[in-house]
A and B are shown apart, each in its own frame.
Chain A
Amino acid sequence: MRRLLQVAIPMVLVGAAILLAMRLWPGPEQQIRKRMVELQELVSFDESEGNFAALTAREQLGAMFSPDAEVRVQGMGTPQLVLTGRLAIMNAAVAARRQLAQLEVEFLDVTVELAADGQSATVEATGKARQEAIGDGTWIEVLRFKFIRTEEGWLISSVEPVTLFTLRSRSGVQVSRGLAHT
């Protein structure tokens, strides 16, 4: 028993030290995953959110994107939304808060692929947005994010929808369809 403890205790301590080190000095993938969590928190809001919190979220959201970032998302039954530049993204966040009482966004099944040079990364995630006001108002879309490494940390340079299903005409032309909901 004593011998077992002599082995187990150092192993537990080493494991704890590794976990602590990973938490204090996260690698690029952990940093990007943390960014994705921050992003879903910043784009989500509820009725109780005050003006100051909304303004803070707008500023923090802007700081997550590169100045020339481009965001393309396919809304439910609406034309593709294209936002170019950090300011347009920040303004869209404000507009969403004005138009909707509440929005709950989640990024699920996040996969991170780092470039060989370590200066950029491609992230794929299933975006899920839900509005309580609309009973069936669940929007789902697989999104591809491009991250770039800057002095300000990892910033999002583009967001685009991933085409999952196609409607293919007889002529062979493929018509892309964004994913609406389940």
Chain B
Amino acid sequence: MSEFAGKPSILRRLVYGTSLKRTLLRALIISVLVFVTFKFILIPVRVQGGSMAPTYSNRGINLVNRLAYKRSSPQRGDVVALWLRPNGSSVVLMKRIVGLPGESIGFEGGCVTVDGVKLNEPYVIFDSEWNQGPVVCGHDEYFFVGDNRSMPIQYHTLGIVKRSMIAGRIIL
């Protein structure tokens, strides 16, 4: 028998380590962890459209934290993913929460007003002339809008959404 008998070759060690069984087990555990993480906890999304510009650019990749609101409520300024369908969907909207339950939200010269007071929005870079009368968020409802107010309001999706339709917070 050669002195190297029983020792795996370098190539073999590079491919599956010293023990094939352990390597396969590790690969299985990592695969399950990756699957669970990216399927149920951090959902990858690709941005399509310019309604969140310049904060988020078209075709950028991002992650939705599905656990963000398990113990806390969405806060003003949070960028969230919204389901299109009550039971979840493969397409989500990415918008910013500007109104909280019970608040009255409107637009004056492109600025959001909360109960009649203009909201400081450092993330809005483009000027606009959006004007819209106030609407009231009900219990468990939030008002969402995009950052790109340079788009005409009719090209924009904004409005009131129930908390159950908020998929999670955008983390990047």
By a beta-carbon cutoff of 8 Å, the part of chain A in contact with chain B is: 76-77, 108-109, 124, 126, 128, 135-136, 138, 140, 142, 164-170, 177, 179-182
Interface check B43, CB cutoff 8 A: no
Main secondary structure of the interface of A (DSSP, over half): strand
User: Are the CB atoms of B51 and A77 closer together than 8 Å?
Assistant: no
> Using an 8 Å CB-CB cutoff, how does the interface string of B131-160 with A read, 1 for contact, 0 for none?
011111010000010000000101111111
Tally of B interface residues using CB under 8 Å: 32
User: B-side interface residues toward A, CB under 8 Å?
Assistant: 47-51, 58, 84-85, 89-94, 104, 132-136, 138, 144, 152, 154-161, 165
Which chain A residues border B84 with CB–CB below 8 Å?
A: 126, 140, 142, 164, 179
Which of B134, B154, B157 meets A170, CB within 8 Å?
B134
* Inter-subunit contact B49/A167 (CB<8 Å): no
Cβ contact within 8 Å between A124 and B49: no
Contacts of A128 in B (CB 8 A): 91
User: What are 19 A-B residue pairs whose CB atoms fall within 8 Å in the complex?
Assistant: A108-B89, A108-B90, A109-B85, A124-B85, A126-B89, A128-B91, A135-B50, A136-B49, A136-B50, A136-B58, A140-B91, A142-B84, A164-B165, A165-B157, A165-B160, A167-B158, A169-B135, A170-B133, A182-B49
Contact check, B160 vs A167: say whether CB atoms are below 8 A apart.
yes
The 9 closest A-B pairs by CB, nearest first: A165-B159, A77-B155, A136-B50, A77-B154, A181-B49, A182-B49, A180-B157, A138-B48, A136-B49
